[in-house]
Each structure stands twice: as structure tokens, then as C-alpha cells.
Chains A and B, each alone.
Chain A
Amino acid sequence: MEFKMAQAAAEVPPKGGFSFDLCRRNEMLSNKGVPPPSFRKTGTTIVGLIFQDGVILGADTRATEGPIVCDKNCEKIHYMAPNIYCCGAGTAADTKAVTDMVSSQLQLHRYHTGRESRVVTALTLLKYHLFNYQGYFQAALVLGGVDANGPHLHTIYPHGSTDTLPLATMGSGSLAAMAVFESKYHEGLTKAEGINLVCEAICSGIFNDLGIGSNVDVCVITKGHKEYLRNHQLPNPRTYVNSKGFSFPKKTEVLLTRVTPLEEKVEVIEGGDAMEE
């Protein structure tokens, strides 16, 4: 009787989440002197702020692999929907994978319902996914957007809990950025003041934390409009010994430059009104 039960249990496939089968083998390998590959992390400051008409998101651009800066100008503000953007801190692969996945799910949902995506939809999809993986998915996110119910800003922690706040900071520089926010935030910020405050918070992270550096990216989302200000501030310019900088001899002439963004596509809406409810 027991033998049969054991066999039946072995046949059921594992139900999702990570499989930890290789952990023992990994431990054995590292005991034998084979170091595990290091993760590309985004030791980061990401911030979000709700102002009068919408949401402002900000992020730095440094990606680290242990003690080395592996990408000096990476993008941490990810596209989710035309009216929703998400900043990600933690393991770079995890943040990119989860935001891409939820972005596709939102797109399908938009086709299905014929309406603009809501921020709480993205929030719930992200939350479910992260909770499912019990914190092993190391992505800490700041999700912001403007939908039919107004501007929203949420923070999502790697274990799946969320916060709904008017100001949010995540990442290793979150304390430095929060210090700036706490001392300078007031109600009724205008767009210019908001962008300024976000930049100051990121710069505070850049100059006071080692996992953060390079440039400041800002994304402003308002009703029906968004501005993605890539490299809005460059407080760490490259300095050259020669005051004239470098100049390479001319080789090939550039005749035409065309940049096609891969993530967003123009959507054709076949008439009908956008309903509020």
C-alpha cells in the first residue's frame, strides 16, 4: 500500500516556482573551488513621486556585477503600457523579465477589453508573480502611471507585498533618496518642481552610495501624455586629459539615421469610445 502511494506521488509534476534540485550539486561545486557566476545587479536608486497632474519616475543608470560596474548607462525605467511605466531594482534579469512579461499580459488584456490599462492591473499581475516565487525573484519595483482613476504610484517588494504611496524610493540608495524626499516634499508640486526633486533624490543616491552612479533618467506621465527623458541629467561627465577631447579620423560617412523603438507599436483603435467604467 505504501509502495504504491510513493509511486503515485513521484509521478505528479512539480507545480511551478523554482526547482531546487541542483542546490546540492552547486554546493559541492563551490566546495571544490568552482565559484558560482555572479549576478548582474542594479544596485540602484529608483524613485517615484505623485505631483499635481500625474506621476514622475526617476532612476539612475548604473548596473553592477559584484564590485564592477558592468553597464554605465543601462535603462531602469521599463515600459509597461502607454500610460504605465515601471522602475526596477535588484537583479537586472529579474526586473526585465517580470516587467516584460506583465507588459505583454497587459497588451493582451487591452486587446481583450478594448480599454486603456489600469495601474492596479499591472500591480496585481506583478504581485502575484513575485509572491509565487516567494522572494527568490529579486525584483523590487516602483510602478507608476495615470489611468481613468487618476495618477497612481506603487512600490512592490521582492516577496510580493505592495505599498501605495505619494512618494516612493527603492534600491540601495533608497535611504539617501528618501532623506531628500522627506526634507523637501510638500503638497501641490508643479511638474518642474517635481522633476527637480526627483533629480535631486537620484543625485543624492548617486553621490552617497557606491551601487549607484552615472546618469539620471526621468519619466513624467500625465493624463494622455508621457515624456521619457532618457539621461535627463549627466552629473558624471567623462573628462579627458586633453582639453579638446578625442576626435577620430573620418572613415565612413553616415547618410541616414533611423531609430525604430522595438517596445512600443502604434495601435490602431477601430473606433468606439473609450469607456470610463
Chain B
Amino acid sequence: MDSNQAKQHNLLGSEAASERTLYPYVTGSSVVAIKYKDGILMAADMGGSYGSTLRYKSVERVKPIGKHSILGASGEISDFQEILRSLDELILYDNMWDDGNSLGPKEVHSYLTRMMYNRRNKFNPLWNSLILGGVKNGQKYLGMVSMIGVNFEDNHVATGFGNHLARPILRDEWHENLSFEDGVKLLEKCMRVLLYRDRSAVNKLQIAKITEEGVTISQPYALKTFWGFAAFENPTVGAEGSW
């Protein structure tokens, strides 16, 4: 009883030992995902930034969950790893039932929403924006959960800076029944704009695909970028003194 009260005091009052997440430390930048003809495509770069330093360059931010879903996360990497551990436990217990039924993307999304919202209510959030996509029984599903528990489902989602840079492109150019090649091209277009304009982006990305058959996560690769516009090389010709 006493120790409980002391702990509550700690949560609200003293600065000494804070056991709540106050700010993120190692963060991942945006994740972008779209529905296509056969399932879901999700792209994320492999950078883990420590403030303004690019500390880790091989962080896998897209992981398969169970048989039917993939999860991509931006934000605090340690919280993402914690979420993966909880989901692992969830899938394990589901498998132990051995009843021929398995958790689909809708269920996992619901579980994640509850988990994120619950943590937010305790003022101790998991500092992530999650994208959950999957296919079960022919039904494609793509949803997002934010760190305060806001969740929704859509045909194309993005986290972080992707919301501002990638979603306008997706709103314009996404359509039903994209082929795999077109879907990858569209995602690469979005990731390229993010690479140009988001300072925490790295040119090393993975694209994950999930269909009824299963999950494939590509090997890390780099996008081709073009920096050689003549007008950018000498922008102040004729306007001497400006920059």
C-alpha cells in the first residue's frame, strides 16, 4: 500500500527518477505503405538517428508478424523492439491454441491500438507511429496507429514526414489494382522525395511485400538520385551576391 502511493507520487511529482518516456532517443524516420493488387507494399529506410547524428544504418524497421501481417514503425526504436516482443508473445499464445485459426491483420491492428492507447493514458507512451498491413482470406488490410492511439485504415498510409511529402503524391497517383512493379515504382518515388527533403532519411531502404502466399522483405538497396540540374549547379549566375 505504502510503496504504491510512493510510486504514484513519483509519477506525478518528483523529477528525480522518471519512469515514463519523455522524449525519444534513437528514432527511425518515415514509413510509407500502399495496397496493391495482390496485397500490401511497405517501404522504410534503415536509419536510426540519435538526435541529429545518424547513428545506426542497418535498422530493420519492417518486420513480419505471424503469417498474415507486416509491421513498420517510425519513432523510438527501443519501443518498437518492445512492441515486437509483445506481439511475439501474442502470436505464440495464439499458435499454442493450435486450432487452425491464426491472428489476421485486423486483429493485430486492434491489439496494437489498445496497447498504444492504454500506454498513453498512463502518460507513458510507446513513442512510435506504427503501420500494420496484411492479407487474410483474400482481404487486404492497411492501418495505422499513432503514439497517442489514433488509428485508422486507408488505402495508403505514411508516418512522420511521409504524411506531408508522400501522401500528396499517393493521393494523386494511387489507384486500385496497381501491379507489383507500378506499386514499387510509386513507393520509390515517395521514398526519393523523402530522401531529398527529409534530413533524417538514409539512402538505404527495404521494401516489404505481403500477399496471400506470404511475406518477402527485400534486401537493402539504394535509390538512384539526381543532383545534377544545371540550374542548381550555378544558381546565382546573373544574380551576383545572392545565394
User: What residues make up the interface of A, taking CB atoms closer than 8 Å to B?
Assistant: 50, 119-120, 123, 149-150, 152, 154, 162-166, 175-176, 178-180, 182-183, 185, 187, 200, 204, 207-208
A165 near B192 with CB under 8 A, answer no
| Interface band, chain B | 20 to 34
Q: Of B164, B168, B240, which one neighbours A180 at CB under 8 angstroms? A: B168
Given contacts A175-B164, A179-B166, A180-B168, contact A152 B197 (CB under 8 A): no
Contacts of B229 in A (CB 8 A): 166, 185, 187
Contacts of A152 in B (CB 8 A): 238-239
Contacts of A178 in B (CB 8 A): 165, 193, 197
B230 near A164 with CB under 8 A, answer no
Q: Does B243 count as interface, using CB distance less than 8 angstroms?
A: yes
A50 near B231 with CB under 8 A, answer yes
Contacts of A50 in B (CB 8 A): 231
Report whether over half of chain B's contact residues are helix, strand or loop; otherwise say mixed.
Answer: helix
Q: Does B167 count as interface, using CB distance less than 8 angstroms?
A: yes
Docked CA distance A150–B231 (Å): 12
Interface residues of B in 85-136 (CB under 8 A from A): none
B197 near A154 with CB under 8 A, answer no
B168 near A187 with CB under 8 A, answer no
Docked CA distance A182–B229 (Å): 12
Most chain B CB within a 10 A radius of its CB, from A162, A163, A179, A185: A179
Shortest distance from the beta carbon of A276 to any chain B beta carbon, whole Å = 12
Contacts of B241 in A (CB 8 A): 120
A187 near B230 with CB under 8 A, answer yes
A165 near B168 with CB under 8 A, answer no
Contacts of A207 in B (CB 8 A): 168, 171
Docked CA distance A180–B166 (Å): 9
Contacts of A183 in B (CB 8 A): 169, 189, 192-193
15 sampled A-B residue pairs with Cβ under 8 A: A123-B239, A162-B243, A166-B229, A176-B165, A178-B193, A179-B169, A180-B168, A180-B169, A182-B196, A183-B193, A200-B172, A207-B168, A208-B167, A208-B168, A208-B171
A163 near B169 with CB under 8 A, answer no
Docked CA distance A149–B237 (Å): 9
Shortest distance from the beta carbon of A11 to any chain B beta carbon, whole Å = 39
Contacts of A180 in B (CB 8 A): 168-169, 172
Shortest distance from the beta carbon of B193 to any chain A beta carbon, whole Å = 5
Q: Does B18 count as interface, using CB distance less than 8 angstroms?
A: no
Given contacts A204-B168, A208-B167, contact A175 B197 (CB under 8 A): yes
Contacts of A119 in B (CB 8 A): 239
Q: Of B167, B197, B239, B243, which one neighbours A149 at CB under 8 angstroms? A: B239
Q: Does B232 count as interface, using CB distance less than 8 angstroms?
A: yes
Shortest distance from the beta carbon of A156 to any chain B beta carbon, whole Å = 10
Shortest distance from the beta carbon of B197 to any chain A beta carbon, whole Å = 6
Docked CA distance A50–B232 (Å): 11
Docked CA distance A50–B231 (Å): 9
Q: Which 10 A-B pairs rank lowest in CB-CB distance, beginning with the nearest?
A: A166-B231, A149-B238, A175-B164, A176-B168, A208-B168, A204-B168, A179-B165, A164-B235, A182-B193, A150-B238
Interface residues of B in 117-159 (CB under 8 A from A): none
Give B150-190 as 1s and 0s: 1 = Cβ < 8 Å from A's Cβ atoms: 00000000000100111111011000000000000000010
Q: Does B242 count as interface, using CB distance less than 8 angstroms?
A: yes
Docked CA distance A134–B167 (Å): 34
Contacts of A166 in B (CB 8 A): 229, 231-232, 235
Contacts of B235 in A (CB 8 A): 164-166
Q: Does B236 count as interface, using CB distance less than 8 angstroms?
A: yes
Shortest distance from the beta carbon of A116 to any chain B beta carbon, whole Å = 14
Docked CA distance A120–B242 (Å): 8
Q: Of A120, A164, A179, A185, which one neighbours B168 at CB under 8 angstroms? A: A179
Docked CA distance A200–B169 (Å): 11
Name the residue of chain A whose CB is nearest to the CB of B162.
Answer: A179
